[in-house]
């Protein structure tokens, strides 16, 4: 990424952030939050540790975004991303921790 591109991205992020602060989340915020949630969910699924609460949250976030409620969409997607990340952390933790539970 060149400096000019980087600068324009920074400006865009700044504008988004300002926009969010002033007027709540916009469609771009919702899309970004949903994409991040989806990526986290996928990582959990690949680890075979996905929670069954995550995909429904993403669906709800999409529905909220479609209905124009971007604040709600971002809120739900953030929760979904949190879950995806937590499930991946759980998979990593259990990769060793399960051994401590084995009946010997």
Partner 1 sequence: MSRFVTAALAGVILSLAGGLLATGTAMGADDAMAKGRELAFDRKKGNCLACHMIADGDLPGNLGPPLIAMKARYPDKAALRAQIWDSTVSNPRTTMPPFGKHGILSDEEIDLVTEYIYSL
Partner 2 sequence: MMKRLCIGLVCILMAAGVVSAAPEDDRQAFVNYFQKRFPNVGADAWVNGVYALDKASYEQWVQIEEFPPYELALGEGEELFNTPFANGKTYADCFPNGGVGIRQTYPYFDTGLGEVVTLELAINNCRVKNGEEPLGYKKGKIAALSGYMAYTSRGKVFDIEIPDDPRAMAAYENGKKFYYSKRGQLNFSCADCHVTNAGMQVRADKLSPALGHPTHFPVYRSKWGAMGTLHRRFDGCNKQVRAKPLPAQGDEYRNLEYFMTYMSNGLEVNGPGARK
Nearest-approach distance from CB 93 to partner 1, in angstroms = 9
Rounded Cα–Cα distance for residues 85 and 91 (Å): 10
CB of 9 to partner 2, least distance (A): 35
Pair 38, 26: CB distance under 8 Å: no
In the structure encoding, which two tokens stand for residue 35, read together? 């994409």
Among 22, 101, 103, 104, binds partner 1 (CB under 8 A): 101
Q: Is 38 in the site for partner 2 (CB under 8 A)?
A: no
In the complex, least distance from residue 20 CB atom to partner 1, rounded to whole angstroms: 21
Considering only CA atoms, which of 76, 98, 84, 79 is closest in space to residue 51? 84
**What CA–CA distance (Å, rounded) separates 75 from 57?**
10
One residue of 40, 49, 77, 83 binding partner 1 per CB under 8 A: 83
Q: Which residues bind partner 2 (CB under 8 A)?
A: 45, 48-55, 83, 86, 90, 94, 97-99, 101-104
């Amino acid at each position: 990424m060149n400096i000019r591109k980087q600068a324009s991205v920074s400006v865009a992020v700044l504008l988004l952030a300002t926009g969010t602060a002033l007027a709540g989340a916009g469609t771009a915020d919702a899309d970004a939050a949903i994409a991040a949630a989806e990526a986290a969910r996928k990582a959990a699924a690949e680890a075979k540790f996905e929670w069954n609460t995550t995909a429904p949250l993403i669906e709800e976030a999409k529905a909220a975004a479609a209905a124009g409620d971007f604040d709600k969409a971002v809120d739900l997607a953030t929760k979904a991303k949190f879950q995806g990340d937590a499930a991946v952390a759980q998979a990593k933790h259990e990769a060793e921790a399960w051994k401590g539970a084995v009946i010997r």
